[in-house]
Amino acid sequence: MTKLCPFPMLSMALAGTWLMLAGFSLPHLVLGSLFAIMIPFVIAPLLGVLPGVRSVIGAMRLTGHVMWDIIVANITVARLVLGPVSRLRPAFVEVPLTATHPYAISLFMSMISITPGSIPLALSPDARTLLVHVLHVEDEEVFVSNVKERYERPLMEILEC
Amino acid sequence: MLTAALYIAFFSIAAALAICMVRLVRGPHAPDRVLAFDTLYINTIALMIVLDIYHSTSVLFEAALLIALTGFVATAAFARYLARGKVME
Amino acid sequence: MLDFLVSILLLVGSFFIVVGAFGLVRLPDFFMRLHGQTKSTTLGVGSFLLASVVHTVDGGFTLQELLIALFLFITAPVSAFLLGQVGLQRHVPSRAPLPEDFPGLRHEPMDLPSRARPASHPGD
Q: How far C36 CA sits from the closest chain B CA (Å)?
A: 9
Instruction: Check whether residue A145 and residue A102 sit in a common domain.
Output: yes
Instruction: Check whether residue A95 and residue A78 sit in a common domain.
Output: yes
Give the list of residues 6+ apart from residue C13 with CB closer than 8 angstroms, or none. Answer: B9, B46, C43, C44, C45, C46, C47, C48, C51
Instruction: Check whether residue A83 and residue A146 sit in a common domain.
Output: yes
pLDDT of residue C122: 41
pLDDT (average), residues B18-28: 87
A113 contacts in C (CB within 8 Å)? 38, 76-77, 80-81
Domains of chain B from N-terminus onward? 2-84 (1.10.287)
Task: Give the one of A20, A113, A124 whose C-beta lies nearest to C64's C-beta.
Answer: A20
Q: Are B35 and C36 in contact (CB under 8 A)?
A: no
Task: Give the one of A77, A119, A125 whose C-beta lies nearest to C84's C-beta.
Answer: A119
Task: Select the more confidently predicted residue: B73 or C59.
Answer: B73
C35 contacts in A (CB within 8 Å)? 77, 81, 116-117, 119, 135
* Burial label, C8 (beta-carbon count in 10 A; 0-12, 13-18, 19+): middle
| Tens-place pLDDT, residues A98-107 | 877 888 888 8
| Tens-place pLDDT, residues C3-29 | 888 889 899 999 989 988 888 888 888
Radius of gyration (C-alpha) of chain A in whole angstroms: 19
Rounded (5°) CA angle B17-B21-B24 = 135
Q: Which residue of C18, C73, C81 is the best one to mutate when testing the A interface, meaning the one whose CB has the most A CBs within 10 A?
A: C81
Instruction: Check whether residue A64 and residue A19 sit in a common domain.
Output: no
| Residue A118 maps to a domain | yes
Cβ–Cβ gap C6/B53 under 8 Å = yes
| Residue A16 maps to a domain | yes
**pLDDT at residue C58 is higher than 60:** no
Instruction: Check whether residue A42 and residue A71 sit in a common domain.
Output: no
Task: Give the one of C3, C34, C115 whose C-beta lies nearest to B1's C-beta.
Answer: C3
Q: How far B70 CA sits from the closest chain C CA (Å)?
A: 11
Domain holding A69, by residue range, is: 53-160
| Tens-place pLDDT, residues C63-96 | 777 888 888 888 888 888 888 888 888 777 777 7
Instruction: Check whether residue A80 and residue A146 sit in a common domain.
Output: yes
Instruction: Check whether residue A35 and residue A107 sit in a common domain.
Output: no
Instruction: Check whether residue A17 and residue A66 sit in a common domain.
Output: no
Nearest to C78 by CA among B24, A77, A139, A114: A114
Instruction: Residue window 13-72, chain B: list those with CB within 8 Å of chain C.
Output: 13, 15-17, 19-20, 22-23, 26-32, 34-36, 38-39, 42-43, 45-46, 49-50, 52-53, 56, 58, 61, 64-65, 68-69, 72
| Residue A3 maps to a domain | no
Q: How far apart are the C-alpha atoms of B61 and B46, rounded to whole Å?
A: 11
pLDDT of residue A78: 86
**Which helix (H) or strand (E) is B1 found in, with range?**
none
Virtual CA dihedral for A105, A138, C37, A109, nearest 10 degrees?
Answer: 0
pLDDT of residue B74: 92
| Residue A142 maps to a domain | yes
Give the list of residues 6+ apart from residue B68 with CB closer than 8 angstroms, or none. Answer: B41, B45, C68, C71, C72, C75
Q: Note whether C87 contacts A: Cβ–Cβ < 8 A.
A: yes
**Which helix (H) or strand (E) is A11 found in, with range?**
helix A8-22
Report for A41-45, A151-155, B70-74, C48-52: range of highest mean pLDDT: B70-74
* CATH label of the domain that carries residue A102: 3.30.70
Instruction: Check whether residue A58 and residue A30 sit in a common domain.
Output: no
Residue A136: φ, ψ to 5°: -145, 120
- For chain A, how many structural domains are there in total? 2
pLDDT (average), residues B36-57: 88
| Residue A84 maps to a domain | yes
Q: How far apart are the C-alpha atoms of C14 and C40, rounded to whole Å?
A: 9
**pLDDT at residue A43 is higher than 90:** no
Task: Select the more confidently predicted residue: C71 or C56.
Answer: C71
Q: Left, alpha or beta for A139 (phi > 0: left; psi -120 to 50: alpha)?
A: beta
Q: Are B26 and C33 in contact (CB under 8 A)?
A: no
Cβ–Cβ gap C48/B1 under 8 Å = no
Task: Give the one of C17, C52, C86 whose C-beta lies nearest to B13's C-beta.
Answer: C17
Instruction: Check whether residue A84 and residue A156 sit in a common domain.
Output: yes
